[in-house]
Amino acid sequence: MGSPKPLLEFRGLSFLALQIALYQSRGIVVYVVLGREAERISAACPALETAALLLNPGPARGMLSSLQTGLAALPAATPAVFFTPVDNPGVDPRTVDALLEKWRQCRPPLVIPRYECRRGHPVLVDALLIRDLLEWPAHLTARDFIHSRIGQAAYVDTADERVCLDIDTPRDYEALLARDGGA
């Protein structure tokens, strides 16, 4: 990308600040796991002062290792956890509310948003699966874990196309800004 994804701007805030604000506005305690360029990111993102900051000791192992770092830090009584990559900015707060409501209604092990039949983020994981995720083999991915439990998932169909955003390249980022005007 040329710069760390957490520091890319959208709607006047960094991707990371947007994610933190989204969950904190719902009363959710936020854990942020940083790996590469952690010092640079934490210095440039004042919003991190309101979140629990964790360092992934092995970021080269991929997203699963970051997820496991965050899960290992959770209090034992945590009933459920959202996880989302930082490069998925702009999810509508009503989508988060709908995911929480679905989980509260029937306590499924997984709650996944879906836009036009495509699964997205954030994913809500019930406490029943946290231990399994912590023990998931390092050579597999978080996506593999979700697929292995897909029969246990409840879906929330949404008109929020941003649940499927994945900003991986400068072209993806330029398209996001062009389409949304940064607003």
Predicted pLDDT at 182: 55
What is the average per-residue pLDDT within 58-70? 91
Dihedral pair phi/psi, residue 136, rounded to 5°:
-65, 130
Dihedral pair phi/psi, residue 169, rounded to 5°:
-130, 160
Residue-wise pLDDT for 85-138, tens only, equals: 999 888 999 999 999 999 999 999 999 999 999 999 999 999 999 999 999 999
Choose which CATH entry (1.10.760.10, 3.30.420.10, 3.90.380.10, 3.90.550.10) describes domain 5-180.
Answer: 3.90.550.10
Structure tokens at 125: 């994981």
pLDDT of 183 > 60? The answer is: no
Which residues sit opposite 82 in a β-bridge? 124
pTM of the model: 0.91
Domain residue extents for the chain: 5-180
Predicted pLDDT at 90: 87
Higher pLDDT, 148 or 61: 148
Predicted pLDDT at 124: 97
pLDDT band for position 63 (cuts 50, 70, 90): confident
Q: Are 80 and 87 a contacting pair, CB within 8 Å?
A: no
Predicted pLDDT at 34: 95
Residue-wise pLDDT for 4-36, tens only, equals: 999 999 989 999 999 999 999 999 999 999 998
